[in-house]
Structure 1
Amino acid sequence: MSQRVGVIGGGQLAWMMGQEAQKLGVSFWVQAAHSDDPAVSIAENSIIAPLSDLEATAQLAENCDVITFENEFIDQSGLSRLRDRVAFRPSLASLAPLLDKYEQRCYLQELGLPVPAFKTVIAGETEFPVEELPVVAKVRRHGYDGQGTFIIPDQWSLDQVWETLKGEQVLLENFIPFESELAIMAARGVNGETVTYPVVETYQRHQVCQRVIVPARISETLEAEIRAIAQTILSALDWVGIFGIELFLTEDHHILVNEIAPRTHNSGHYTLDACDVSQFAMHLKAVTGETLTAPQMQAKAAVMVNLLGYESTENQYLDKRQQLSSLPNTYVYWYGKTQARPGRKLGHVTVLGESIAQASAIADQVSEIWYPHDDN
C-alpha cells in the first residue's frame, strides 16, 4: 500500500488514522487548521490552513492520490471544483445527503429505515403545542460532541433554547424513551464489499459519549437487523470508507436510527486494541482500494472510556495518566491537546477483559481516577 492519502482535518481522528497509516506504509498528509493540532505531529507532511481554504486543499490534492475527511463540516460546492484533480473518498456525492441533519433524516426515511418522528422548524419563529414536549432540537449543520443538541423537557427550556438558536433552522424530533443507545461501525470498499464491526452500547453525559461497551448486550436478531441497516446505507450511498451509525433501542425493543457520522467515530475507538483491524486501518484500506475482510475481535469484551475535560485549564494531567497506565489490560490514548475545557475530548482509555463485568470494573477505576468525585 504505497498511496498518498490526504485528510482534511488535523484532530485526534486524523492523529489515530496517521498512526495506522505508518503501520500500513501509507504516505499520510493533513490539512490542519493549527500547527499544534494532534495529527500534525504524526503526518508525513502538513498544510496549515483553515479547513475551508480551497487553495490549501488544492495543494493537498496535488500531492495526494486520495483525499478523505476527518469531519463532515465541508464546503461541498467548493471541493467539487477539485474532483478532476484527486479522488475524494467517500465521494462528495455520497456525502451530500448526510451533511444536513434534516436532509439526512429524510434520506434515511426514504430508504425505508426506522427513524424517530421529526420535522424542521425555524427556532423562535415556529410555535408548537406544549403537550408535544419533551422533544430534542438539533442544529442542522455543524453540531458535534453534544454542541447544537438540546433536550427540551418543558416550556422554560424551550424558551431558553429558542432564544439561543433564534433564527436557525433546526431539526426537531420526538424524544425517545430508550432502553439503550447503540452504535455500529461499518465500511465499504471500492469494489462494493461491506464489513461491519460488533454493535456497541454507548453512554452519554451532557450529550457527549463517555463510555462504550462491546459487545452490546442484545439479541442476535437485533444485531443482525442493525448490521443489515448498515449494509443498506453503505450500498445506497455507494460509500467508500467507514462510517458510524448511532441508534436507539426503544423500551419496546425496536431499533430506530438516530444519525450517521460519515467518518471514523468515537464509538469505534475500542477497535484499536480489541480488533485485528482498527476502524482507522479499515478506512485507509477502503479508500486506497484494498479488498476488505471482516474484522475479528481479539478480546471477549472491551470498554472504552472517554477522558473528557471537566475544567478550563492548561494541564497535561501527567499524574492521572500515570495512574491510568498502571491499571491492568488498559490502553491509554492522549491526544496532546494543550487546553482543557468541560466536555472536550482529551483522550480515551480502552480496557480489555474476559467479560463485560471484568472490563467494566476496571473502567470504573478509570472514571474514579479521571473525574472529580462530585462529577461522575
Structure 2
Amino acid sequence: MTKKVGVIGGGQLAWMMAQVAPQEDIHLLVQTPSHNDPAVSLATKTIFAAIDDPQATAQLALDCDVITFENEFVNLLELQKLADQGVCFYPRLSSLSPLLDKYEQRCFLQNQGLPVPNFKAYESLDDFNSFSFPLVLKARRHGYDGQGTMIVNSSTELKAILAKFDGIPLLIEEFIPFDRELAIIGVRSVTGEIKIYPVVETYQQNQVCRWVIAPTRLTEIQQENINSIVEKLLIALDYVGVLGIELFLTKNGEILVNETAPRTHNSGHYTLDACYTSQFAMQLQAITGKKLGNIELKSSGAVMVNLLGFEVAYSDYQEKRAKIAQMGAFVHWYGKNESRWGRKLGHATMLLTKNTPEEIDQQGKLIAQQIESIWFDTPLSYIREL
C-alpha cells in the first residue's frame, strides 16, 4: 500500500529522499518556502510556506501518514499541538527535544555517560576562565555547515565575536586537537530494528565538510566503541529514523562525541551510490515501519566530495561536472541556481577498488584531490597543500 510521507524542508536532503521514494512505494510531500528549492521538482505535492509555519504543517498533515524533517529549524511547541491532535512525527518530537539546542544536546550526551569535550553555556566572561585558547564557540540554535561555529584563538578575537553575537545564546567548548574527524549514520525503525553504517572520515575546512572516505581506519575496539555509542543514543532517545553523529578521534586514540543531527546527514551521501540501501531510502523505510534494507558497501570503499560554491555566480557548471563524471564518478547536482562561497551545490561519489584500510585511505584522498582540482580549477599540487 502506498504511503504518503511529508517532509518539513525542501532542500537537497528532501530532494534525495524524493529520488528514492518511488522505489519504496511512497509519495513524498514537502513544506518549503521557495519554488526554487531542490525537492519541489520531484515532490508529489508542495506546501509553499516557511518551515516553522505550524498552519502550513497542519495543512501538510491532512495528506500524510507521517511527517519527518530535513533540518532542525522547527518550532517544537507549535508542532506539539499538532502531535496532541494525532499528527504523527518521526523522529518523535520528544526525541528531537534534547538535541536542537547544542548546549542541551551536550548535557544529554553527558548524562548518557558518553564522552564529550569539556563545555559550558556562555552567560558571562567568567565562564571562559576554565578554558584556554584556542577554544570553540557555537551558536546554540540554527547552526549548520559551519555557520555559527567559530574557533577563537585570542582574547582579541573573542571580544570581536562576542560583540557580533551579542544577544545570541552561545556554547563554549574546549578545542580538540584531533587526529581525525569521524561520522557515522545510525538508523532505528518504528519496530525497534537498528542498522549502523560504516564509520567514515570527514575532512572539514572552515567548518564545512569537503570530502568523506568510507570506511575509515579504526581498531576493532574503536569500531565497537562507536557502534555502542550509536546504539545507546538511538535507544535512549526512543529514536525513529536516521541519526547522524559526528565524532573526534583524538591523537591518543580516544573517541569523543561532537554533535548529532536528527536527520539524514551530509556524511552519508556516499550511501546513494556505494551502499545497497542509501540513508535516504533507510529514512523512509524506518518511519513507515518497513524492514530495514542492506547497508553493506558495494565495493571496498567510497569517497564523496562536496561540490562547494567558490564564487558568487549563476551557473550550472556543466563542463566541470562532465569532467568529474568522466573520471567514473556519480555526480549529483542539486539544481540550485545561485552559487555562493561554501554553498553545497552538489556532490560526487566514486567507488574505491583497493583492499587494505591504508590503501583505501590513500586512494580516496587522491581521488578527492583530483575531483577538487577540476572543480576549483586549481592545480593538483595546490589542492594537496590545503
Range of TM-score over shorter length:
over 0.9
> Do the aligned partners of 1:327 and 1:362 also contact (CA within 8 Å) in 2?
no
Residue 120 of structure 1 corresponds to which residue in structure 2? 121
> Do the aligned partners of 1:70 and 1:263 also contact (CA within 8 Å) in 2?
yes
Secondary structure (helix, strand or coil) at the match of 1:105 reads helix
* 1:90 Cα deviation after fit: 0.5
CA distance in 2, matches of 1:169, 1:78: 21
Q: Which of 358, 361, 376 is the matching residue for 2:363?
A: 358
Residue 256 of structure 2 corresponds to which residue in structure 1? 256
Residue 297 of structure 1 corresponds to which residue in structure 2? 297
Residue 270 of structure 1 corresponds to which residue in structure 2? 270
CA distance in 1, matches of 2:24, 2:159: 52
Question: Alpha-carbon deviations, 1:340-372, whole Å to 9, x = none?
Answer: 110110000001111223343332211100014
2:285 is the alignment partner of 1:280: no
CA distance in 1, matches of 2:154, 2:215: 35
CA distance in 2, matches of 1:27, 1:136: 42
Cα separation, partners in 2 of 1:150 and 1:304, compared to 1, 3 Å: same
* 1:134 Cα deviation after fit: 1.2
CA distance in 2, matches of 1:335, 1:94: 29
Paired residue type of 2:145: D
Secondary structure (helix, strand or coil) at the match of 1:97 reads coil
Residue 313 of structure 2 corresponds to which residue in structure 1? 313
Residue 233 of structure 1 corresponds to which residue in structure 2? 233
Number of residue pairs the alignment of both structures matches: 374
Residue 193 of structure 2 corresponds to which residue in structure 1? 193
Counterpart mapping for 1:121-270 below 5 A = 121-122=122-123, 128-129=128-129, 132-270=132-270
Cα separation, partners in 2 of 1:145 and 1:166, compared to 1, 3 Å: same
CA distance in 1, matches of 2:276, 2:149: 34
> Do the aligned partners of 2:316 and 2:337 also contact (CA within 8 Å) in 1?
yes
Counterpart mapping for 1:14-53 below 5 A = 14-53=14-53
Residue 86 of structure 1 corresponds to which residue in structure 2? 87
Q: Percent identity?
A: 52
Q: Which of 358, 372, 376 is the matching residue for 1:367?
A: 372
2:110 is the alignment partner of 1:105: no
Q: Which stretch of structure 1 is more off in the superposition, 107-116 or 310-319?
A: 310-319
> Do the aligned partners of 2:277 and 2:293 also contact (CA within 8 Å) in 1?
no
> Do the aligned partners of 1:241 and 1:286 also contact (CA within 8 Å) in 2?
yes
Q: Which runs of 4+ in 1 moved over 4 A?
A: 124-127
Cα separation, partners in 2 of 1:15 and 1:293, compared to 1, 3 Å: closer
Cα separation, partners in 2 of 1:360 and 1:177, compared to 1, 3 Å: closer
Cα separation, partners in 2 of 1:130 and 1:3, compared to 1, 3 Å: closer
Secondary structure (helix, strand or coil) at the match of 1:87 reads coil
| Structure 2 runs not aligned, ≥5 long | 355-359
2:345 is the alignment partner of 1:340: no
Question: Alpha-carbon deviations, 1:108-148, whole Å to 9, x = none?
Answer: 000000000000013x7556349721110000000000000
* 1:332 Cα deviation after fit: 0.2
CA distance in 1, matches of 2:130, 2:364: 43
CA distance in 1, matches of 2:216, 2:45: 39
Paired residue type of 1:370: W
CA distance in 2, matches of 1:130, 1:256: 19
* 1:293 Cα deviation after fit: 4.4
| Structure 1 runs not aligned, ≥5 long | none
CA distance in 2, matches of 1:128, 1:5: 45
Give me the CA root mean square deviation. 1.5
Cα separation, partners in 2 of 1:130 and 1:163, compared to 1, 3 Å: farther
Paired residue type of 2:122: V
> Do the aligned partners of 1:119 and 1:172 also contact (CA within 8 Å) in 2?
yes
CA distance in 1, matches of 2:2, 2:135: 49
Secondary structure (helix, strand or coil) at the match of 1:253 reads coil
Secondary structure (helix, strand or coil) at the match of 2:128 reads coil
Paired residue type of 1:351: M
2:12 is the alignment partner of 1:7: no
Residue 357 of structure 2 corresponds to which residue in structure 1? none
CA distance in 1, matches of 2:141, 2:46: 27
CA distance in 2, matches of 1:9, 1:85: 21
- TM-score, normalising length: structure 2: 0.94
> Do the aligned partners of 1:62 and 1:85 also contact (CA within 8 Å) in 2?
no
CA distance in 1, matches of 2:118, 2:125: 20
